[in-house]
Amino acid sequence: MAIRISSLGRYNPWWKKSEGWESEDISLRNLEEIIPRKDISLREGDIFIIRGIRRSGKSVYLRLLIKSLIERGVDPRKILYISCDRYTLREIRNIVDEFRRREEKIYIFLDEITYLKDWKIFLKILGEEDITTIATGSNPISIKREVETLPGRGVEGNEYYFNPLNFKEFLNYMRKDIPNVSFRYDSPQITPLIPYYDEIESLFYRYILTGGFPEAVIALKNGRDLSNIYEEIIRLVLGEISKAGKDEHIAREILEYLLRIKGGRFDYVSVARELEISHPTVKDYLNILENARIIYTLEAWDLDKKRHAHKKQKKVIFQGTLIPISLGIYLFGYSPDDFVDENIEFLAECTASSHIIWSLESPLIREKHSFAGFYYDQSKECDLLIHTEKFFGIETKYGKVKKRKYPFELIYLSKEEIEEDNVIPLSLYLAGIEKSPKNI
């Protein structure tokens, strides 16, 4: 079978020269800047899986890994990058076979592998052939389900989530002079950051506008309009619905509902009744959005049983604020600034909750459902309740803090209030929260 070698060379410019190839790379040459990300150690012969939402920077990250390999002395001709949406599985298999006949100890980068039918079998073959393989995918649940059937193939410990930049990463990129501090979600040490509150708070509003998506961050830093990026995010969300074979009209109605309630509690039956659809349909669509890492669905905790109360009401938060802002433009005709101003409490809560989850989650070992939820009773609600060794609550009040008594320890995240025991500004708190070791 013939191989389209011309397109291969176009996507592997390091074959021609080991230095300066970035200027000829299709993914890098038009970028104004590249935002550094956490490096991962690539052990020879293992399979590495990177799963995360589209537009979060996975393709660019693969180029950074390739650059790192070349700088460490790996022969560029032993590195093969393939965009899996451009070839059939049979073509890719032939490309890899031909590549391996020419080189030993090769590195294969497979971008968006879930485009390929039976990709799991292909990964298994590569693992058996002792080929170092790095695969990305934007359908995290599909990757999770299939990778679980590959034990003993060099996958264990090599799975990563890939999310937008968190606020700490955004801050480090935008302002090098602000102290770089790190702390756990339940023991914040913000003292070094307090003198920089005005600068950090100003940057927090800008972070909200971008949701940490690299293209939006770079555009904002360079004073460019974000209209095209909002459109890309709208297409991303609708594309996930389309790929799942679902009805776009129903998806729009559910998304409209989620934006209207602004993080409020709901149950599947009441949503179904209002939208005149079945409650299994509501659950199905929310699962699709969560599997694509567009939303997190949070369940209420039963404190006595230390498990989720599945029959109680749920909550939804968006995993990056650029997503609800883009949907607000699309569904309701908002301007970005107007949407942010009108929904700042909800966007702040989404940001706080997603950052804490990102700081704890790891593929398979510790996923969101095992530790994150929320709490409510007849008179009050706590936005996020984490259960690890104990229950610990986080209540986001991006305004005036009104304390309540809860049966667990918690902190309040305010706009600017500080109280020694458990009230601190949200922006200072997020400035010290790091992603987990398995979250890029």
Kindly give the confidence (pLDDT) of every residue in the chain, 440 residues in length, as a single tens digit, with 9 standing for 90 and above.
455 556 788 889 999 988 889 888 888 877 778 898 988 988 888 999 998 888 888 989 999 999 999 999 999 999 999 988 888 888 888 888 888 888 878 999 999 888 887 788 888 888 888 899 999 987 644 555 555 555 455 567 789 999 999 999 999 999 999 999 999 999 999 999 999 999 999 999 999 999 999 999 999 999 999 999 999 999 999 988 998 899 999 999 999 999 999 999 999 999 999 999 999 999 999 999 998 899 999 999 999 999 999 999 999 999 999 999 999 999 999 999 999 999 999 999 999 999 999 999 998 888 999 999 999 999 999 999 999 989 999 999 988 898 999 999 999 999 999 987 799 999 999 999 999 999 99
DSSP state of 364: T
Largest CA distance in the chain: 70
3-state secondary structure (DSSP) of residue 315: strand
Q: Among 439, 239, 259, 223, which Cα is nearest to 334's? A: 259
Q: Which strand (E) or helix (H) includes residue 162?
A: strand 159-162
Which domains, from first to last, does the chain contain? 5-162 (3.40.50.300), 167-430 (1.10.10.10)
Rounded Cα gap, residues 427 and 171, in angstroms = 10
Instruction: State which amino acid sits at residue 411.
Output: I
Structure-block tokens of residue 94: 């032939």
Q: Does the predicted model carry a pTM greater than 0.75?
A: yes
Label the pairing between strands 307-308 and 381-387: unpaired
